[in-house]
Structure 1
Amino acid sequence: MKSLLNSVIINMIKQDDLSGRQFLIKSNQKKQFSHLGVLVPAFKNNKCLRCGQSEFYTLPTQVRQCTACLELKAVFETDWLLRVPTTNLKKVTTSSLTWEGSLTKAQQKISDQLTSHLKKKEDTLIHAVTGAGKTEMLFASIAFALQEGMRVVLCCPRVDVVDELFERLSLAFKTTSIGKYHSESHPINSNYPLIICTTHQLMKFYKTFDVAIVDEVDAFPFESSEILHYALKQAIKPNGQKVLLTATPSQNLLNQVKSKQLNYLLLNKRYHGHRLPVPKCHLLFQKQPIGRFLLDFRLKKLLNRLIKAQKPILIFVDKIANLPNLKIKLAHFYPSLIIETVSSKDPCRHQKVEWFRAGKVDVLLTTTILERGVTFEDVQVIVLNADDAIFKTSSLVQIAGRAGRKKDFPKGEVHFFYHHYTTAIQQCLKQIKRMNKWD
């Protein structure tokens, strides 16, 4: 998170343009920027007020530094946080929703219930299977909030998903000014009624939003991060509402539902009415399914069939380090195929994903970075070493959910290759089969 920019930039914008923002500034900048908002010490009561943690390192100068949120930008106990007050928006008489699509009966029911909960100022958990059309179900509630003059944030754990959501909501709310914040997009102006951002970007806001929607609330890094949960709490107004979306709710969330802290809305049908693809499991006997000169006969048979049918293939692996060698080995067996790799460390990952989506790549090798938030037409999914610890139950459910998402291709295949039948694999199958039990 960058500190406040220089006075030349600040003088070019109005206070309202910084509405609800939180900035980290140095002590010698206090007089320069104090007119913009409230100044508070970065550390108070032995806690960093930016991240809410008490993890410090004392420098040789005897000044403490927070180590919990160091990756965002170093914050010292001599620093200050500038919190710009949030300006209220005016209510409008017409809806900002320009989306011309329609919802299924099941989607419409969830949409209506969510709007009702927002009117009652109640928090809600939406438990919907992958491919249920969660984003579209949010449109009416977002439109209601905007019409009431509320500020709305839709956040999710990953940059790729933020970009996709921004495009979709820009089409659904064409007359609304929408802000996009992530590591590669951080406009200084924040006076937007609707903001799409990564969960880390919530640390740039303080008591700003009336409604906070967290997509993939069970995903890394949000689920297990005390810092990000603190950031969410700080970014919402005292009387603001939370809407949490997930296909795999944690036990903690279900406990909150049980104690009536959260309303619970369940949608176990995909928008096109077809059931979720159940993964097929393949036990491996050799150390690696793809060796230098040997390809597991079951994997070879599967790949031959999918390639003959000209199906796009998405292969998940457990480690980034395995991607280059795996690409070389697969190219040895299938020299006519166009094979690419993507990971969080790949600067060209967005372009490669678009190539795959456009049919310019036959096989895409990836890590869990593509387990959520992406849709490909008629894709077939394979997980190698599905028993690795990186593939938790929620990850496997999400990965399986990449297949069969399109109405014209609702029955994609999912295959898990493993050496040990883990609890995660077992629970993944159990969850998918349970969600498929509807009339």
Structure 2
Amino acid sequence: MAVYVVAQGGVWQARISLNLAVDELWWAGEAEGLGGWGGRWVVGGGQVADWESQAAERKGQHADLESQAEERRGQRAGWGKQAAEWEGQRADWKGQATDRIVLLSRSLPLGWAVKLAAACQFTNRMQYWDEEAWRKYASALLKAEIRAERAAGGTGGAGWPFEEAKVYRLPEDRGWSRRGGKVVGERNGERKAGVSEWKDEEGSGWAREREKERGSVQGSMRTNWQGNEQVSVLMSEMEVLAAGADRLVAALDGRSLLQGEAEALVAEQLPELAENWRAAAQLAYLQGRLRLTAAVLGPAGAARLGLRRREVPRCLRCGSAPTGRTACAACGLAGCAYCEACLALGRSRACALLLRSAPLPAVQRTAGVSPTVTARRWGLSAAQAAAAAAALGFLAEPRKRSAARGPERFLLWAVTGAGKTEMVFPLLEAALAAGGRALIATPRRDVVLELAPRLAKAFPADVPAVLYGGSEDRLRRSRITLATTHQLLRFHQAFDLVIIDEIDAYPYHNDPMLDYAARQVCKLGGRFILLSATPPAELQRLARSGRLPHARVPVRFHGHPLPVPRHIRIPPLHRCLKQGRIPAGLRSALQRSLDRKAQIFLFVSRIAHIEGLLQLLRTMLPEISIEGTSSQDPGRAEKVLKFRDRTISLLVTTTILERGVTVPHSDVFILDADSGLFDEAALVQMAGRAGRSKDDPAGNVIFASAEWNRSQRAAISQIRSMNAIARRQGYLKS
């Protein structure tokens, strides 16, 4: 990765480059007449200004760009408004000369290049520096990295890695004249010691020393080299490259992709850019519309990107600390850091390029809707409609300080079977009506697959992109995205509304990586809706204290109270299996459920108990179909389907089926309910499998254990509390 600093109009900036040919044309002013290559000029720290006013100068607009602009309605205006607020940064760059460029390195390890560009601090004295001064300054900024590399066995020689540093002084009048289709640099005064002209007739400048870049801009933009002269790039070809940058930015909108993933996206969606995407990406980076960084970043660079200094170095994709270093053929370092936490999504390394679109602010939200209107539009119950209306009010008038860091949050605390999915439909509708994008994320693939057809039916004009491991929709764009929480690692500030379902469920609960990913996907000014029947204790405390906006739905959609569990005392299950018998009290309770033809969930705390229990049950109940399943069972989905259609009558399982599975006319038995693996939330969720059908709302729930512990008491207390609230609010039918 090349890295350089540039002085323009007395302002210094540091940049990295995927393609120096594009940078040369950019800083030389070759983009004049295109409104700054697409109407976006870089100011100060790479921010975007004059989006609207200069976009009108673009020549030869393409129809596909018009459609993209329509799709992103309201967003350009947001850029213009934001740009106007950047005090002291608006400037007319057409009237300012590029004074000099200091090419620090043409081939620096990516992580080092990003850190160097982020760590540079400029003073007026730098305009007098020669190459040696710049080498010393850059080496000082990377002192720790250079020392660590040499300790790891790196073989860099004297002056490494800045032995090729060069200062180029640019003509104040830009010195360009077009003669016979050629661009020739004109001399501008005598060359000072240690300072070269950027481009002169003797070929001693940037272009001559950059021969490795020859022909690097191909296809969309053609650059040829003849001796020390560069053949002019036609304006029409520059427009094509600018259009390619537009398409690339649109395709990467809201995404956070490693280079390999970005190349796969280009091959699938933009095949015309396959050979030249790096040039388009570099142009978009210079325009401020694309961010290029290292996937694993050291202290200075990560702090600049929003990670606190004490938390770095970090993987920018998942927020974890890199745990390994190894010799790397890609960057040539003897100790290249990589992240093991998100390894399943592709190796995130210090030399791995991470591409992110520059974020846009969230859309403006609409006014809240009354519960009556919401209920009539979506067929919601009174309790559902009241909760949805409260959430819509939160979106319209967001409160302050509901989250210490990150977007504002709203908790939708709804009992199991309350119909949370139907309650989010009005929220999705409001986000789409405002021109925004919405995400529904859930920890488990099973739940994603169950929700997908329901969302597609509710929003036929915006069929959701469904993302999970191995999904065919991995690169498809939609205004609604439905994903497992791990897939959020491939997005960055993409969504105006983020809905996280089952926030207390594995693997999302207590996973800092997934929490980091969820925070990263929401746009600045966007909003979070958290869904749960059993929120973590901290969120419950915040809600009760009034510090977390929330709505509680204490009743199921059919209006009947939640079944309250009963306790049966039995020996520990491992002892029952060792003795080869089912306790009499448990046998009697099972038989009563079978007599009323209920489907039986029988939960155990350990996978190892399933097979032995199946043998005992099949001996005791030979006339019924009994199966077992767990997270390790490849046939789990098929068994759940057979259980739903009553081919299987009793299913022995683990907490893998504690949520996301609805089976009418069912009873629930939880063996070893006093196990430390079953906390209050797990017990409430498992109990919630019973009584979900309006035809059988009073299903039976049995806690079977040797002890009566705190988790069981708390679970029953929570269920009774919700029933009491529903009764007070007049939601219960009986």
The answer to whether the Cα contact below 8 Å between 2:262 and 2:355 also exists between their aligned partners in 1 is no
Alignment of structure 1 residues 115-130 onto 2, 5 Å:
115-122=392-399, 123-130=409-416
1:21 aligns with 2:298: no
User: Which secondary structure does the structure 1 equivalent of 2:431 belong to?
Assistant: helix
Partner of residue 380 from structure 2, selected from 100, 103, 112: 103
CA offset digits 1:161-215 (Å, max 9, x no partner) = 1111112111211222211111131524342100111111111101100000011
CA offset digits 1:376-427 (Å, max 9, x no partner) = 1011111111112221110100111111011111010011111222221111
Displacement after TM superposition at 1:262 (Å): 2.8
1:59 aligns with 2:326: yes
* Distance in 1, Cα, partners of 2:363 & 2:317: 30
Alignment of structure 1 residues 278-289 onto 2, 5 Å:
278-285=564-571, 287-289=574-576
Matching residue of 2:608: 321
* Distance in 2, Cα, partners of 1:73 & 1:278: 46
How many residue pairs are counted as aligned between the two chains? 423
CA offset digits 1:34-73 (Å, max 9, x no partner) = 6354221112221111111224222354222213323443
* Distance in 1, Cα, partners of 2:634 & 2:278: 36
The alpha-carbon distance between structure 1 residues 26 and 272, as it changes in their structure 2 partners (threshold 3 A), is closer
The alpha-carbon distance between structure 1 residues 177 and 86, as it changes in their structure 2 partners (threshold 3 A), is farther
For residue 294 of structure 2, what is the amino acid of its counterpart?
P
The alpha-carbon distance between structure 1 residues 102 and 323, as it changes in their structure 2 partners (threshold 3 A), is same
Displacement after TM superposition at 1:251 (Å): 2.5
Matching residue of 2:484: 198
* Distance in 2, Cα, partners of 1:78 & 1:88: 30
* Distance in 2, Cα, partners of 1:376 & 1:87: 43
* Distance in 2, Cα, partners of 1:288 & 1:33: 65
The answer to whether the Cα contact below 8 Å between 2:438 and 2:496 also exists between their aligned partners in 1 is yes
Matching residue of 2:391: 114
The answer to whether the Cα contact below 8 Å between 2:419 and 2:557 also exists between their aligned partners in 1 is yes
Matching residue of 1:359: 646
CA offset digits 1:338-371 (Å, max 9, x no partner) = 1122222222211211111111111111111111
The answer to whether the Cα contact below 8 Å between 1:26 and 1:79 also exists between their aligned partners in 2 is no
The answer to whether the Cα contact below 8 Å between 2:314 and 2:321 also exists between their aligned partners in 1 is yes
Larger RCO (CA under 8 A, 6+ residues apart): 1
Displacement after TM superposition at 1:433 (Å): 1.2
Matching residue of 2:317: 50
User: Which secondary structure does the structure 1 equivalent of 2:292 belong to?
Assistant: strand
* Distance in 2, Cα, partners of 1:402 & 1:34: 55
Matching residue of 1:169: 455
CA offset digits 1:276-334 (Å, max 9, x no partner) = 11111111136544556411101111122222222111111111222222222211211
Matching residue of 1:3: none
* Distance in 2, Cα, partners of 1:89 & 1:261: 23
Matching residue of 2:291: 38
Matching residue of 1:248: 534
The answer to whether the Cα contact below 8 Å between 2:467 and 2:473 also exists between their aligned partners in 1 is yes
* Distance in 2, Cα, partners of 1:255 & 1:66: 35
The answer to whether the Cα contact below 8 Å between 2:318 and 2:517 also exists between their aligned partners in 1 is yes
The alpha-carbon distance between structure 1 residues 136 and 276, as it changes in their structure 2 partners (threshold 3 A), is same
1:411 aligns with 2:698: yes
Name stretches of at least 5 consecutive residues in structure 1 with no aligned partner.
1-10
116-125 or 275-284: bigger deviation? 116-125
The alpha-carbon distance between structure 1 residues 27 and 147, as it changes in their structure 2 partners (threshold 3 A), is closer
* Distance in 1, Cα, partners of 2:494 & 2:261: 24
* Distance in 2, Cα, partners of 1:382 & 1:131: 18
The answer to whether the Cα contact below 8 Å between 2:466 and 2:474 also exists between their aligned partners in 1 is no
TM-score, length of structure 2 as denominator length: 0.54
The alpha-carbon distance between structure 1 residues 187 and 20, as it changes in their structure 2 partners (threshold 3 A), is same
The alpha-carbon distance between structure 1 residues 406 and 303, as it changes in their structure 2 partners (threshold 3 A), is same
* Distance in 1, Cα, partners of 2:379 & 2:260: 51
Matching residue of 1:368: 655
Displacement after TM superposition at 1:243 (Å): 0.2
Matching residue of 1:348: 635
* Distance in 1, Cα, partners of 2:605 & 2:261: 46
The answer to whether the Cα contact below 8 Å between 1:88 and 1:149 also exists between their aligned partners in 2 is no
Superposed CA RMSD in Å reads 2.8
* Distance in 2, Cα, partners of 1:216 & 1:58: 36
Name stretches of at least 5 consecutive residues in structure 2 with no aligned partner.
1-243, 264-274, 282-289, 300-312, 328-333, 367-373, 400-408, 729-734
The alpha-carbon distance between structure 1 residues 28 and 353, as it changes in their structure 2 partners (threshold 3 A), is closer
Alignment of structure 1 residues 98-247 onto 2, 5 Å:
102-122=379-399, 123-247=409-533
The alpha-carbon distance between structure 1 residues 288 and 436, as it changes in their structure 2 partners (threshold 3 A), is farther
For residue 549 of structure 2, what is the amino acid of its counterpart?
N
The answer to whether the Cα contact below 8 Å between 2:325 and 2:337 also exists between their aligned partners in 1 is yes
CA offset digits 1:109-158 (Å, max 9, x no partner) = 11111111112245311111111111111111111111111100011111
The answer to whether the Cα contact below 8 Å between 1:18 and 1:191 also exists between their aligned partners in 2 is no
379-388 or 338-347: bigger deviation? 338-347
More helix by share: 2
* Distance in 2, Cα, partners of 1:31 & 1:80: 16
The alpha-carbon distance between structure 1 residues 166 and 27, as it changes in their structure 2 partners (threshold 3 A), is closer
* Distance in 2, Cα, partners of 1:147 & 1:339: 49
The answer to whether the Cα contact below 8 Å between 1:290 and 1:330 also exists between their aligned partners in 2 is no
The alpha-carbon distance between structure 1 residues 19 and 63, as it changes in their structure 2 partners (threshold 3 A), is same
CA offset digits 1:72-97 (Å, max 9, x no partner) = 43322221211145789999x9xxx9
Displacement after TM superposition at 1:261 (Å): 5.2
* Distance in 1, Cα, partners of 2:319 & 2:710: 34
The answer to whether the Cα contact below 8 Å between 1:128 and 1:245 also exists between their aligned partners in 2 is yes
For residue 364 of structure 1, what is the amino acid of its counterpart?
L
4+ runs of 1 displaced by more than 6 Å?
Answer: 26-31, 86-91
Rg larger in structure: 2
Matching residue of 1:8: none
20-29 or 240-249: bigger deviation? 20-29
* Distance in 2, Cα, partners of 1:406 & 1:343: 24
Matching residue of 1:69: 342
The answer to whether the Cα contact below 8 Å between 2:252 and 2:356 also exists between their aligned partners in 1 is no
The alpha-carbon distance between structure 1 residues 311 and 254, as it changes in their structure 2 partners (threshold 3 A), is closer
The answer to whether the Cα contact below 8 Å between 1:21 and 1:190 also exists between their aligned partners in 2 is no
* Distance in 1, Cα, partners of 2:585 & 2:541: 42
TM-score, length of structure 1 as denominator length: 0.89
For residue 70 of structure 1, what is the amino acid of its counterpart?
L
* Distance in 1, Cα, partners of 2:469 & 2:546: 36
CA offset digits 1:238-260 (Å, max 9, x no partner) = 11100001111222213443675
The alpha-carbon distance between structure 1 residues 191 and 90, as it changes in their structure 2 partners (threshold 3 A), is farther
